[in-house]
Structures are given as C-alpha cells and as structure tokens.
Amino acid sequence: MKSYLSPYLSQTDEQVLNGLETSSAGITATEAITRNQLHGLNTIQVNRNGPWLILWRQMTGNPLILILAVATTVSYFLGQHISAYYIFGMILVSIFLGFWNEYAAERTVQDLLKRVSLSAVVIRGGEKIEVPVTHLTPGDMVLLAPGTIVPADLRLLEVGNLELDQSTLTGESKTVFKTASAVTKQPAGLGDFANIAFMSTVATSGWGRGVVVGIGQGTEFGKIAKTASFIKPETEFQRGLRGFGNLIIKVIIVLTVAIFSVNALLGHPILDSLLFALAIAVGLTPELLPIIVTISLSHGAGKLAKKHVIAKQLISIENLGNMDILCTDKTGTLTEGTIQVIEAVDAHGNPDPELFKYSIAANSAVHHHKVLGNAIDVALWNHAHTSKITLPDDFSKIIEQPFDYDRQAMFAVAEYDGKRRLIAKGSPEAILASCTITPALAKTAHERFVALSQQGLRVIEIGRASCRERV
C-alpha cells in the first residue's frame, strides 16, 4: 500500500529525527511557532453551512416554492393582491421553518464541538508540557498513555506493550500491538503500519513516545475525512418532490395554453382569455403543500431532538422514516466495539468458573475511575465485577510480566490459599506450547480452541502450575 508514511517505516530513529530536523528532546517553543506558521494548525477541515447558504437552499431546494413564487408574481400583476399576499405568506412561513430547524441544528453541532478541547503531552526543549492538539506540528515529540487519543500521525520511537484501537480508521475493533522497530516488509494495508500511530486512534494499554510526521488534512484520517465530504446525492423524497413539481408545471402549462386557445377560438377578447387562463393556473397551484411538508418534517425533527438526536437537514427525516433495515459491515461502527466474556470452559468443554479467578489474577488492567488497559484484560475485570467474582482475601501478586507481543502471552506469580502459583494467559498456541501435558490432552484442547473459533469467538487460554519460592 502506498502512503506518505511509507518512507518512515524502514528508517531508523536517527534518520527519522534528522529528516524532521528535531531530536529526542523535541523542538523548542519558538521553533514550534515557526512551524505552525509554515504547516498550519493541526485541524480537520469540515464543510460548515452558513446561514446564507442554508437560506438559499431553503429557497431553491423545493420546486414547489419556485412554482408558488411564479404564481405569486402572476397573481399580483393580475390585480389579485390579497391572493398574492396570502401565497407570499405561505412561502415565507415554509422557508422560515426550514431555515430555523437547520440553522439551529448547525449551531448545536458547532457548540458541541467548541466544548471539546483536546490537549496532548509533548516534549519541547527537553521539558514535558501539555499543549492544545491544534498546535502540534511536525517534529513534536508526543507521549502516549492508556486512554490517549493519538493527536496526529506519529512515527513511534519507543513503546512499552503499546496497544492501539484503530477502529475509527480501519473499522476493526481488534486492538493492534505497535513496535518502535523499523519495518522492512511492504504493508498491505493501514493495519500493517506497525511503527506508526495514526491520528484519531486510541491507546488502550501500554505507553509510547513518537514524533509527529503528519498533521491535519495531511494525515491518513484527514484524507478519509476529506473524501467523505462529498456532495450528498439526491434522496428519493427530493426526487419525488421534484417530479411532482415538474408534473404540476406541465399540467399548468398545458391547461393554460388549452384554455387560452379555446377562449380565443370562441371569440373572447385576447386579454380576457389570457387573464382567465393565468387565473386558472394560479388556482391550480397547491399553496399549502410546501408548508405542510415543512411542518411535518419539523415535527419529526422535534421528536428526534427529545431523544437527543440532531437532524442537520430536514430532508433526512423522510429518509430515516423510509428505512426498514440498516446494515453495517464492521464491528465498532454502530456497535460498541467492546469485548465481552461469554464463558470459561476446560479442555473438554465443561464449565470451569475457577478460570475466571486465574484470569483476573494474571491481569494487567489498571483501576482508576474505570478499568483501563488491554481490551481483553478490561473485559475480564468487567465480567468479574458484574458476576461478583473476587480473589481470596489472602491473595498476593508476587510478580507480573505484562503481555509480550513476541511471546503472545503474559505471566504472573501469585500466592493465595497458602500456595504459590505461576499463571500464564495468552493465545492458545503459545500457552499449549509452554505446557507439559499429555499429547492427548493437548489435542483435545486444540480441538476445543478450533471449535470455539469457528463460532466467531476470540479465545484465550490459561495455564497454571505450582511453583516454589526461590532462595
């Protein structure tokens, strides 16, 4: 896969820093200001609809409004001033309702965005400081910790069991382990950029340090956001309104010409025939239809607002109402994108609740206001809290080695019930290779793993053994 990030994959740390004219101490504050002026702010440009654009769309987007405008003009010049004022009032009410709903929705979205003020921890001039994300620039040294949203495209220089959730970029809910080593293999997709932390992804566990190589619209996330800002296609409802408007225009034109022709052939004065035909045309115009459509859609927007849903365009209400089935192809888009524990079974498939205790005994998740860490470790702890699974009162963790990407497992030594135990948790292949069990039991365990995987389940395996204190 070709990307502007490809050259950074195979470069050494020194080559990356030299190319960006920075160092492990980061750039200085003065240099940061200079680079901000050169490269711009670290922001994603979005299409914003101003009040004049919204008003123009309300005036020209509905063909019925245009028909009424013509009918109003004709009525006024025919001397039917009261009728013209009446139709003009209908037009103003319809335009105002549509404008007010869309403008209020646009303002609400902008107010919500203004309340979100993100910052990043960086090293500048050898000092660790916190700066607004928008002020990041190429060459900045950024620090990552669990829960951090990656603020720009980073080339990782140092990691410690760093695991990122890239679902916002790739759609895959499975977290990805990152490395700081140079990558020589050509990546097939964004998920294979092992030493790159992409903008908008989230650090779920571990820590990292990386240098900014891309900001704003130049990032992979920025490019996706740019391509997503396309002109929206005409909806079925809009096509229906346009078709109905065209039908009315054709009917009015045909009847006007026919009535004028018949009256003229019957010997009526030409001017009287023309005025009569135009009066018929005005009478055929559905003055109330635009306002009825606008009020109905506004009512739907109001009901959605009570459920905390913002409808930025009234026309989308009709599309939502016509939807029977919504399909999505990636976990983590409309779904929560979180892992949940289903069951704990032994090699023979029998329930083994004791495995839950081992799973939280060998667990590197961190407890703050919420559980943070590896997605699987977090899921195990959340299940333990929900199921009220607790460790023995005399439980004591002697040592723990966090999940190692190369070994595909983590290890812990814990003591409880007067015994010291070694607990290993990780991929079934890695754990089975580390266990001293009979070939028959190993085969049974592998078959159980294959059967569960075929059901679409992610499987982790836990091994345990008694150990003695080393003197």
CA gap 166, 187 in Å, rounded = 16
DSSP alpha helix (H) spans, 20-50 = 29-39
Arithmetic mean of pLDDT, 68-89: 74
Report CA dihedral (136, 200, 225, 1) to the nearest 10 degrees.
100
- β-strands 202-214, 396-404 pairing: unpaired
Report d(CA 248, CA 255) in Å as an integer: 10
Task: Indicate the SS3 state at residue 463.
Answer: strand
Q: 203, exposed or middle or buried, with CB in 10 Å at 0-12, 13-18, 19+?
A: buried
Query: Which helix H or strand E contains 406, and what residues bound it?
Result: none
C-alpha separations of 364 from 146, 201, 234, 414, 458 in Å: 12, 21, 51, 13, 19
Please check the confidence at residue 287 and state whether its pLDDT lies above 70: no
Q: How many CB atoms neighbour CB 391 within 10 A?
A: 15
What's the pLDDT score for residue 119? 84
Residue of 103 and 247 predicted with greater confidence: 247
C-alpha angle 416-436-449 in degrees, rounded to nearest 5: 90
Q: What is the pLDDT of residue 117?
A: 54
Amino acid type, 406: D
Asked if 399 contacts 337 with a C-beta cutoff of 8 angstroms, the reply is no
Range 448-453 average pLDDT:
86
Q: Which helix (H) or strand (E) holds 366?
A: strand 366-367
pLDDT value, residue 288: 66
Pairing of strands 141-144, 153-165: unpaired
Q: Residue 225: in which H helix or E strand, if any?
A: helix 220-228
| pLDDT at residue 283 is higher than 80 | no
pLDDT tens digits, one per residue of 327-374: 765 545 555 667 788 888 888 888 888 888 888 888 777 776 677 767
User: Which residue type, as a one-letter code, is found at position 266?
Assistant: L
What is the CB neighbour count within 10 angstroms for residue 299?
Answer: 11
Q: What is the mean pLDDT of the chain?
A: 79
Q: Which of 275, 252, 253, 250 is nearest to 263 (CA)?
A: 275
The answer, yes or no, to whether residue 209 has pLDDT greater than 90, is yes
For residue 212, pLDDT beyond 90: yes
d(CA 447, CA 428): 11
Which of 95-104, 110-119, 316-325 is the least confident region? 110-119
Q: How far apart are CA 33 and CA 20, in angstroms?
A: 15
- pLDDT, residue 142, reads 92
Mean pLDDT (whole number) for 84-107: 73
Question: Over the stretch 386-412, which tens digit does the pLDDT of each residue have?
Answer: 888 878 778 888 888 777 777 788 888
- Phi/psi class of residue 411: alpha, beta or left (left: φ > 0; alpha: ψ in -120 to 50)? beta
Q: How confident is the model at residue 62, as a pLDDT?
A: 67
**Environment class of 400 (CB within 10 Å of its CB; exposed 0-12, middle 13-18, buried 19+):** middle
Give the pLDDT of residue 173: 67
What pLDDT score was predicted for residue 211?
A: 94
Q: Is the pLDDT of residue 100 over 50?
A: yes
Q: Which residues pair with 367 in a beta bridge?
A: 371
pLDDT-above-70 percentage for the chain: 83
The per-residue pLDDT for 471 is 38
**Separation of alpha carbons 155 and 11, rounded Å:** 10
Kindly state the tokens that stand for 114: 């203004």
pLDDT digits (tens, 9 = 90+) for 25-56: 889 989 999 999 998 888 876 656 667 776 77
Which residue is it, tokens 């290779």?
433
Could you give the CA distance from residue 453 to residue 289 in angstroms, rounded to a whole number?
57
The reported pTM is 0.57
Least confident of 123-132, 277-286, 319-328: 277-286
Residue scoring higher pLDDT (64 or 420): 420
